[in-house]
Amino acid sequence: MTDQRFSADRSRLEPESFRNANDEQMRVLTALLGCLIVAERGDSEAAEDRAPRA
């Protein structure tokens, strides 16, 4: 119940442009995080390929 009340208060206090900017920032951050995850996976797979095989 508290979350809903906070959300309602927040939407009433923040101008629409701030909410849109926050949504855009979250989309960008999510995309960057996705890129980092893919890069990390690629690095670990590349390290496995470089590792000497027994």
Instruction: Kindly state the tokens that stand for 54.
Output: 């027994």
What pLDDT score was predicted for residue 33?
A: 92
What pLDDT score was predicted for residue 32?
A: 92
The separation between CA 5 and the C-alpha centre of its own chain, rounded to angstroms, equals 25
Per-residue pLDDT tens digits for 44-53 = 776 677 666 6
User: Any residues with CB less than 8 A from the CB of 19 and at least 6 apart, and which?
Assistant: 11
Q: What's the CA gap between 31 and 40, in Å, rounded?
A: 14
Per-residue pLDDT tens digits for 1-54 = 455 555 656 666 667 777 777 888 899 999 999 988 888 888 777 667 766 665
Q: What is the pTM of this model?
A: 0.47
Torsion of CA 45, 49, 52, 53, to 10 degrees: 100
8 A C-beta contact, residue 4 and residue 12: no
